């Protein structure tokens, strides 16, 4: 140690003091550590992106028209239908249900929903021995009981939605796409980590047009990634939440609704159920100022074996996406409980419209579409950069 000039102790950190006393090149050590760290993050970014890119491209391409589902369906499915008695009275909901079941004798009702812009009640029923997911769906003119035209999505839009949701594989397909969404989030985080040192060398937004094509595309890739990072995180996260819809609803039924079934010995058969119309009126009284959305019958996905679950939503842009069910004892017609949705179901309810930008009108949808196009360019340029790197001579 003799002959080596010591630096003042107060000017040295613990790590720096140790390196100085032992003659270690601290700058070189930190440089090597930084290089190894960047290599690890680069590996994470590369492979999380490459593994998921094909599926993410599919989701972006199918998601682009799905942003405008309502507008496209209005153009492709114009309907000049009018109710039979527009100025007359309406059938009560027990009569509507009776009409629907008379057309499919033996069916068990599952759901009832209500059109917003026409006096039509939609009754969903199923045969007792029908396979899971196989239903009869009947739109009924509430002014006459006559069948009304089915207002469903255009077949092309329905195909795209199914492909985007689960690739026609049901829950396994949805969970797989959820895993791809998680890889997207990993790719975004690792990309931000890698872009941080790049930002120190070049001003933000720099595109080196005088460089080779690969360098230009790297700059475009980094720039678009930085600009869209918040949006991609939002869409990716809400997409992952949406893939968990089935497990989330199942968990809600097995936890929040389980206590309501303890007082019942067996399911209430259809022949012993009280008036549906009276049940809805009682539910309205329990939740004044809210809008009726749909009814889940006993034994269906969104109810118990013993209750009518009558769902309402609010009137503001935010509360319109939040549903609250009033549970009516199907045998007695009495109010059993008002069961506000737990936080995880509320998260699911908000994630679905947020994923497609469907809560701020056409202007927001256009913004969503432009950001979707940017995401497609990011994914495509990422594949190009990887292929171009592999082709470079060693």
Q: Decide which of 56 and 21 is more confident.
A: 56
Once rounded to an integer, what is the mean pLDDT over residues 274-287?
A: 94
Residue bearing tokens 């795209």 = 160
| Confidence band, pLDDT 50/70/90 cuts, at residue 109 | very high
Q: What is the predicted pLDDT for the residue at 199?
A: 63
Are 208 and 215 within 8 A, CB to CB?
yes
Q: What is the predicted pLDDT for the residue at 14?
A: 44
Are 291 and 314 within 8 A, CB to CB?
yes
Give the integer Cα–Cα distance in Å for 280 and 143. 19
**Per-residue pLDDT for 18 more than 50?**
no
Q: What is the predicted pLDDT for the residue at 393?
A: 55
| Confidence band, pLDDT 50/70/90 cuts, at residue 271 | confident
Q: What is the predicted pLDDT for the residue at 198?
A: 64
Q: What is the predicted pLDDT for the residue at 129?
A: 86
Query: For 365-381, what is each residue's pLDDT tens digit?
Result: 999 999 999 999 999 88
Of 39-53, 95-109, 251-265, minimum mean pLDDT range? 251-265
**Per-residue pLDDT for 167 more than 60?**
yes
Radius of gyration, CA atoms only, the chain: 29
| CA 141 to chain CA centroid, nearest Å | 32
Once rounded to an integer, what is the mean pLDDT over residues 18-23?
A: 40
Query: For 195-242, what is each residue's pLDDT tens digit?
Result: 766 666 666 667 777 778 887 888 888 888 888 999 999 999 999 999
**Per-residue pLDDT for 12 more than 70?**
no
**Per-residue pLDDT for 189 more than 50?**
yes
Instruction: For the chain, report the end-to-end CA distance as a whole number of angstroms.
Output: 46
Q: What is the predicted pLDDT for the residue at 5?
A: 47
For residue 1, the tally of other CB atoms under 10 A from its CB is: 6
**Per-residue pLDDT for 43 more than 70?**
yes
Q: With b meaning 16 or more CB within 10 Å and e meaning fewer, what string describes 38-59? A: eeebeebbbebbeebbebbeeb
Q: What is the predicted pLDDT for the residue at 9?
A: 45
Q: Decide which of 274 and 81 is more confident.
A: 274
Give the integer Cα–Cα distance in Å for 379 and 57. 7
Average pLDDT along the chain: 83
Give the integer Cα–Cα distance in Å for 142 and 152. 18
Query: For 137-160, what is each residue's pLDDT tens digit?
Result: 999 999 999 998 877 677 888 899
Are 325 and 339 within 8 A, CB to CB?
yes
Question: What HEC string does the chain produce?
Answer: CCCCCCCCHHHCCHHHHHHHHCCCCHHHHHHHHHHHHHHHHHHHHHHHHHHHHHHHHHHHHHHHHHCCHHHHHHHHCCCCCCCCCCCCCCCCHHHHHHHHHHCCCCCEEEEEEECCCCCEEEEEEECCCCCCCCCEEEEEECCCCCECCCCCCCHHHHHHHHHHHHCCCHHHHHHHHHHHHHHHHHHHHHHHHHHHHHHHHCCCCCCCCCCCHHHHHHHHHHHHHHHHHHHHHHHHHHHHHHHCHHHHHHHHHHHCCHHHHCCCCCCCCHHHCCCHHHHHHHHHHHCCCCEEEEEECCCCCCCCCCEEEEEEECCCCCHHHCEEEEEEECCCCCEEEECCCCHHHHHHHHHHHHHCCCCCHHHHHHHHHHHHHHHHHHHHHHHHHHHHHHHCCC
For residue 310, the tally of other CB atoms under 10 A from its CB is: 28
Residues 6+ apart with CB under 8 A from 183: 48, 49, 51, 52
| Confidence band, pLDDT 50/70/90 cuts, at residue 8 | very low
Give the integer Cα–Cα distance in Å for 190 and 193. 5
Token pair listed for 142: 């509430």
Q: What is the predicted pLDDT for the residue at 367?
A: 93
**Per-residue pLDDT for 303 more than 50?**
yes
Q: What is the predicted pLDDT for the residue at 205?
A: 66
Query: For 57-85, what is each residue's pLDDT tens digit?
Result: 999 999 999 999 888 888 877 667 888 88
Q: What is the predicted pLDDT for the residue at 209?
A: 75
**Per-residue pLDDT for 290 more than 70?**
yes
| Confidence band, pLDDT 50/70/90 cuts, at residue 19 | very low
């Amino acid at each position: 140690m003799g002959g080596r000039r010591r630096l003042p102790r107060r000017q040295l950190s613990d790590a720096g003091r140790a390196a100085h006393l032992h003659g270690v090149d601290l700058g070189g050590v930190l440089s090597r550590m930084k290089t190894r760290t960047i290599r690890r993050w680069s590996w994470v970014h590369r492979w999380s992106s490459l593994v998921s890119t094909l599926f993410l491209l599919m989701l972006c391409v199918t998601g682009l028209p799905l942003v405008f589902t309502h507008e496209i369906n209005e153009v492709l499915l114009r309907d000049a239908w009018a109710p039979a008695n527009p100025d007359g009275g309406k059938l009560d909901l027990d009569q509507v249900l009776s009409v629907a079941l008379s057309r499919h004798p033996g069916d068990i009702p599952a759901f009832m929903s209500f059109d917003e812009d026409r006096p039509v009640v939609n009754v969903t029923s199923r045969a007792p021995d029908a396979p899971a997911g196989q239903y009869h769906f009947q739109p009924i003119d509430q002014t006459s009981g006559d069948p009304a035209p089915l207002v469903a999505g255009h077949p092309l839009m329905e195909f795209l939605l199914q492909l985007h949701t689960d690739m026609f594989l049901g829950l396994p397909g949805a969970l797989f796409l959820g895993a791809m969404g998680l890889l997207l989030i990993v790719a975004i985080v690792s990309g931000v980590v890698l872009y941080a040192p790049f930002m120190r060398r070049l001003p933000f937004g720099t595109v080196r047009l005088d460089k080779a094509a690969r360098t230009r595309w790297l700059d475009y890739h980094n720039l678009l990634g930085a600009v869209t990072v918040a949006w991609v995180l939002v869409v990716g996260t809400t997409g992952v939440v949406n893939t968990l819809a089935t497990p989330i609803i199942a968990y809600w039924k097995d936890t929040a609704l389980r206590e309501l079934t303890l007082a019942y010995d067996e399911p209430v058969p259809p022949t012993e159920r009280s008036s549906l119309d009276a049940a809805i009126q009682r539910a309205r009284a329990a939740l004044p100022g809210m809008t009726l959305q749909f009814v889940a019958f006993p034994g269906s996905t969104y109810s118990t074996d013993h209750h009518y679950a009558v769902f309402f939503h609010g009137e503001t842009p935010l509360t319109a996406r939040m549903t609250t069910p009033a549970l009516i004892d199907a045998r007695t017609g009495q109010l059993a409980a008002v069961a506000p949705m737990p936080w995880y179901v509320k998260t699911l309810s908000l994630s679905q419209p947020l994923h497609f930008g469907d809560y701020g009108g056409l202007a927001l949808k256009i913004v969503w579409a432009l950001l979707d196009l940017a995401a497609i360019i990011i994914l495509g340029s990422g594949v190009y950069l990887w292929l171009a790197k592999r082709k470079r001579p060693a």
